C-alpha cells in the first residue's frame, strides 16, 4: 500500500510540476498585450508619467498589460539637467525602479531634443553648447547604464515639409555632425544600450522627411556611426492616417541594418474605425521581423497629451476599448 501511495505521489508531483512549468504563451493563453507581443518575439510598451504611479487603476493596467516602459517626460533635458552639470534623476528613477521591479524593460526618452530644453542650455552657442550637449548625453547614459535597454538618442532633428532639411535648432547650428557625435557619446557611455533615432511623420515612405531620415541612417551605417534602431513615433490623425504601405516603410529602414520600433503610437478616433487603424499599424510591425516592438503613448485616453482625440487603448476610466481588442487579436493571431 505504501509503495502504491509513494508511486502515486510521484505521479502527482510530476503532473503538478508540469502544470506550473513556465511555458511560452500560446495564441490562446496570451491574454495581455505584453504576453501576446512576446509570443511574436516583440515587446508591447507604454509611455508612463511618474506622478500617476499612485493611481491604482493606472498602475494595475501598466503592470498587467505592458512589458516595456518609456518615461514620457522625466528623462528629458529640462527634467534631468535643470542646471548645468546639476543632474536630477529622481523623477525618472521612480519610473525606472518601478519598471525593473516589475520585470519590465525601459526605453530612455530622450537625450537630445530641440524642445524641453532648460534655459541654461538654450542660451549656449558654438563649442560651449556642443560640449554641454555631449556631456549631457554622456552623464545621463552612464547613469542609466545597464538599466535602459534602448535610448532615443536624438529626437525630431528633421524639419517638416517637402525639403528633407534638418530642423533649425541650437544643436543643428553647432554643425551637421551633432547627431553622429551624440550617438558616439552614447555608445561610449553605455555599450549595452540600443541607440535609436526617433521622429514623427516618417511613417510614409514617400514623404521628404522620411527619405531624409532614411539617407541619414544609410550614411551612418556606411560610416560605422553606432545607430541600432529607428523609432517611428506613429502619432496618427484623421489627416495623417496609418499609411497603406506602412510595412514597406518599416522594411525599408530595417533593410539598412537597424531595428525599427513604433515608439509613441496613438491614433485619433474611436470605435471600429480606430480599432481598424490600430490593427493596421500593429499588422505592419508584425510583417517586418526587425520591427522589435510597439509603444503606445499613454495608458488611458485621459492620460494622453492629446486626450480630446481619445487616441489610446483604454478609455478615461481604464476600460478596454475596441482598439485594445483589435490590437490583442492581431498579436494573438500573428504567425
Ligand atoms: O510638470 C509640469 C507641472 O509642474 C505644471 O504644473 C504643468 C502646467 O504647466 O506642466 C507640467 O509639465 C508638462 C509636462 O508635459 C508634464 O505633464 C509640460 O507643461 C508639457 O509641455 C509636457 O508635455 C509633454 C510634451 O511631450 C512636451 O514635453 C507631453 O506630456 C508628452 O506626451 C509629449 O511627448 C512628445 C514626445 O516627448 C516626443 N514626440 C512628441 C510627443 C507629443 O508631443
Upper half-sphere CA count for residue 59 (Cβ side, 13 Å): 13
Please pick, among 65, 74, 180, 264, the residue that the annotation labels catalytic. Answer: 264
Cβ atoms of residues 75 and 110 within 8 Å: yes
Instruction: Please state, rounded to an integer, the average pLDDT across all residues of the chain.
Output: 94
Upper half-sphere CA count for residue 7 (Cβ side, 13 Å): 4
Ligand 1 neighbour 152 (Cβ under 6 A): no
pLDDT at position 9 over 50: no
- Mean pLDDT over 55-73 rounds to 98
Ligand 1 neighbour 263 (Cβ under 6 A): no
Task: Please give the share of the chain, as a percent, with pLDDT higher than 70.
Answer: 92
Tracing cell 534623476 back to the chain, one arrives at 89
- pLDDT band at residue 238 using 50, 70 and 90 as cut-offs: confident
Ligand 1 neighbour 72 (Cβ under 6 A): yes
Burial of 88 (0-12, 13-18, 19+ CB in 10 A): middle
Annotation marks residue 72 as catalytic? no
* Ligand 1 pocket, mutate which of 47, 73, 199, 309 (most atoms under 8 A from CB): 73
pLDDT at position 201 over 90: yes
Please pick, among 65, 156, 180, 203, the residue that the annotation labels catalytic. Answer: 156
How remote is the CA of residue 80 from the centroid of ligand 1, in Å? 14
- pLDDT band at residue 27 using 50, 70 and 90 as cut-offs: low
Cβ atoms of residues 297 and 264 within 8 Å: yes
**pLDDT for the residue numbered 24:** 63
pLDDT at position 5 over 70: no
**pLDDT for the residue numbered 11:** 45
DSSP string of 222-266, one letter each residue? HHT----EEEE--EE-SSSPPPTTHHHHHHHHHTTT-EEEEEEEE
**pLDDT for the residue numbered 15:** 45
pLDDT at position 10 over 50: no
List of domains in the chain: 33-333 (3.20.20.80)
Annotation marks residue 203 as catalytic? no
Nearest CA to ligand 1 atom 43: 305
Q: What is the pLDDT of residues 240-297, one digit of tens each?
A: 899 999 999 999 999 999 999 999 999 999 999 999 999 999 999 999 999 999 999 9
- Mean pLDDT over 221-233 rounds to 98
Polymer length of the chain: 335
Amino acid at each position: 500500500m505504501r509503495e502504491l501511495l509513494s508511486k502515486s505521489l510521484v505521479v502527482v508531483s510530476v503532473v503538478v510540476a508540469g502544470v506550473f512549468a513556465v511555458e511560452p504563451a500560446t495564441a490562446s493563453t496570451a491574454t495581455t498585450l505584453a504576453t501576446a507581443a512576446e509570443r511574436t518575439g516583440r515587446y508591447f510598451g507604454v509611455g508612463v508619467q511618474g506622478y500617476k504611479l499612485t493611481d491604482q487603476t493606472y498602475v494595475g493596467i501598466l503592470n498587467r498589460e505592458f512589458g516595456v516602459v518609456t518615461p514620457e517626460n522625466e528623462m528629458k533635458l529640462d527634467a534631468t539637467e535643470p542646471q548645468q552639470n546639476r543632474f536630477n534623476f529622481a523623477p525618472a528613477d521612480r519610473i525606472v525602479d518601478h519598471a525593473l521591479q516589475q520585470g519590465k524593460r525601459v526605453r530612455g526618452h530622450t537625450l537630445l531634443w530641440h524642445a524641453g530644453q532648460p534655459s541654461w542650455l538654450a542660451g549656449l552657442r558654438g563649442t560651449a553648447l556642443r560640449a554641454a550637449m555631449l556631456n549631457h548625453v554622456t552623464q545621463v547614459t552612464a547613469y542609466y547604464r545597464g538599466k535602459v535597454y534602448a535610448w532615443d538618442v536624438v529626437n525630431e532633428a528633421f524639419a517638416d515639409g517637402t525639403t528633407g532639411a534638418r530642423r533649425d535648432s541650437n544643436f543643428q547650428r553647432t554643425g551637421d555632425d551633432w547627431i553622429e557625435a551624440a550617438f558616439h557619446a552614447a555608445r561610449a557611455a553605455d555599450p549595452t544600450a540600443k541607440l535609436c533615432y526617433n521622429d514623427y511623420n516618417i511613417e510614409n515612405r514617400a514623404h521628404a522627411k522620411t527619405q531624409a531620415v532614411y539617407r541619414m541612417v544609410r550614411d551612418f551605417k556606411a560610416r560605422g556611426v553606432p545607430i541600432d534602431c529607428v523609432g517611428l513615433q506613429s502619432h496618427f490623425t484623421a489627416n495623417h492616417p496609418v499609411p497603406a504601405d506602412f510595412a514597406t516603410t518599416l522594411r525599408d529602414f530595417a533593410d539598412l541594418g537597424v531595428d525599427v520600433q513604433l515608439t509613441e503610437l496613438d491614433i485619433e478616433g474611436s470605435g471600429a474605425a480606430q480599432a481598424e487603424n490600430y490593427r493596421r499599424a500593429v499588422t505592419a510591425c508584425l510583417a517586418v521581423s526587425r520591427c522589435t516592438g510597439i509603444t503606445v503613448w499613454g495608458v488611458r485616453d485621459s492620460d494622453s497629451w492629446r486626450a480630446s482625440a481619445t487616441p489610446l487603448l483604454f478609455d478615461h476610466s481604464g476600460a478596454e476599448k475596441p482598439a485594445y481588442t483589435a490590437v490583442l487579436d492581431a498579436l494573438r493571431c500573428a504567425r
